[in-house]
Amino acid sequence: MPQSLAKNLIHLIYSTKNRDGCLTPAIRPKLFAYQAGILQEWDSPAIVIGGDADHVHALFILSKNHTLCKVIEEVKKGSSKWIKTQGKGFARFHWQNGYGAFSVSQSHVTRVRRYIERQTEHHRTMSFQEEFRLFLKRHGIEYDERYVWD
């Protein structure tokens, strides 16, 4: 085949360092737009980005030319630098070191999009940590609780 074709949909989840709830409702839309711009620069267009006070969910199409870890590194690094310019309250901002990245079937895009768009409502009844543990279990990922959180 002379042409390389790929469509890898990724549901990315990561939190602020120590799950600090500093992502205010006012900053989130700007942050998500900024992150979408970074994803676009890395040929990995965002479908939707959302989250709550202490974490981000992004559904995007992974570039066939860049590795997942490189795209995530650039999104986290670039958005961390950007948010630190948004006021004194963000001067010491950091993302957690790790992340969760889960493959998504094209047939589930609408459902995942809705899930991401409703994060604030969702987290009225479930913490980020409870949610993340469920994702790990649902995707059959074994983990050591001592090394999941920072």
Question: Domain map of the chain by residue range?
Answer: 8-147
Find the DSSP H helices in 25-66: 28-41
Residue from 118, 114, 32 nearest 75 by CA: 32
148: pLDDT strictly greater than 90: no
- DSSP helix/strand/coil, 9: strand
Residue 132, pLDDT score: 94
8-147 maps to which CATH number? 3.30.70.1290
Above 70 in pLDDT, residue 1? no
CB 55 within 8 A of CB 95: no
Q: What is the pLDDT of residues 45-88, one digit of tens each?
A: 999 999 999 999 999 999 999 999 999 999 999 999 999 999 99
Residue type, 90: F
Burial, 2: exposed, middle or buried (Cβ in 10 Å; 0-12, 13-18, 19+)? exposed
Q: Is the pLDDT of residue 6 over 80?
A: yes
Confidence (pTM)? 0.94
pLDDT-based confidence at 115, cuts 50/70/90? very high
Cα separation, 101 vs 57, in Å, equals: 10
- Torsion (CA) 59, 48, 93, 96 in degrees, nearest 10: -20
Where residue 149 falls among pLDDT bands split at 50, 70, 90? confident
